[in-house]
Amino acid sequence: MALNIIVCIKQVPDPEHYSKVTLDPVTKTIRREGIPAVINPVDKNALEEGFSIRDSYSGKIAVLTMGPPQARRALEEALAMGADEAVLLCDRAFAEADTLATAYSLACAVRTMGHFDLILCGNETADSGTSQVGPQLAQFLGISCVSNVKEITFEEEMSLVAKQSLEGGYMKVRLRLPALITVRKEINKPRLATAFGIIEAAEKEIKEWCCKDVEVDSNCIGSAGSPTKVLEPIELPRRKGEIMTGSPEEAVKKAIEKVRELGGLT
């Protein structure tokens, strides 16, 4: 059983540098200057799960992302980790897309890529955390979707069981392929790119497609296709912490006094 797997990834500001993140009051978007860009962390788990499935059943892994030209770096890293091919959806018309317009654009790209059996995505992105793009993409493609998955087990050819995390437990969902699954961080531990993988990646193709290449409806992409808009971003004040020392009784007494001092108790 050879499977054609597509893994959707996104390039995001490095979470290790989020203390430097600021918001542009005019464009109402994140200022990314001076912050390293990386593959969204849980998208690497989606990649790793794809590699594991390919190792067990053969097939190929194509990586897909939508973004500006510099998003090629994320695809290059994915190829160095072991992906077989990559597609960059890049056009100024795709800019300022919300999750619905993003999912629509990705769906057009997936159809252009041809036959697939399984799409894997990270459960959410570090820069927005909506968890919406994966399920929306599945809806546009008309395929089954299970989100928040922490384990995937194949039962038979073209059939698998996904263990979906729920509050206080989990649920097992059986589904037939083609399907889309969004994964959680605990599903695996992503591999690192090796020196040999980096050398191999230089010989792998990255296709760059614009709007015309994937036959999109211009009314459904970018800002025009986004039913949601950011009206006013709000920066929350930085929280401060204070450790109370002494015995448990003394620490509690100090904490109560501090809360009262700040007006939390009367």
User: 165 and 241: one domain?
Assistant: no
Residue 229 lies in a domain: no
Q: Identify the bridge partners of residue 180 per DSSP, sorted by sequence position.
A: 119, 145
Q: Domains in the chain: how many in total? A: 2
Residue with tokens 């464009």: 27
CATH value at residue 136: 3.40.50.620
Domain containing 197 equals 3-220
pLDDT tens by residue, 105-151: 999 999 999 999 999 999 999 888 899 999 999 999 999 999 999 99
User: What is the reported pTM?
Assistant: 0.86
Distances (CA, A) of 56 to 50, 51, 78, 187: 10, 9, 19, 16
User: 157 and 244: one domain?
Assistant: no
Residue type, 166: L
User: 145 and 45: one domain?
Assistant: yes
**Interatomic CA distance for residues 242 and 255, integer angstroms:** 9
User: 70 and 156: one domain?
Assistant: yes
Residue 225 lies in a domain: no
Q: Are 46 and 5 in contact (CB under 8 A)?
A: no
Q: Are 148 and 164 in contact (CB under 8 A)?
A: yes
Per-residue pLDDT at 20 exceeds 90: no
User: 143 and 243: one domain?
Assistant: no
pLDDT tens by residue, 215-262: 999 999 999 999 998 777 776 677 778 888 999 999 999 988 888 888
**Interatomic CA distance for residues 155 and 214, integer angstroms:** 34
Tokens of 143: 């395929």
pLDDT at 100: 97
**Interatomic CA distance for residues 59 and 61, integer angstroms:** 7
User: 164 and 205: one domain?
Assistant: yes
Q: Are 61 and 54 in contact (CB under 8 A)?
A: yes
User: 258 and 216: one domain?
Assistant: no
Closest CA to 162 of 187, 190, 185: 187
Per-residue pLDDT at 17 exceeds 90: no
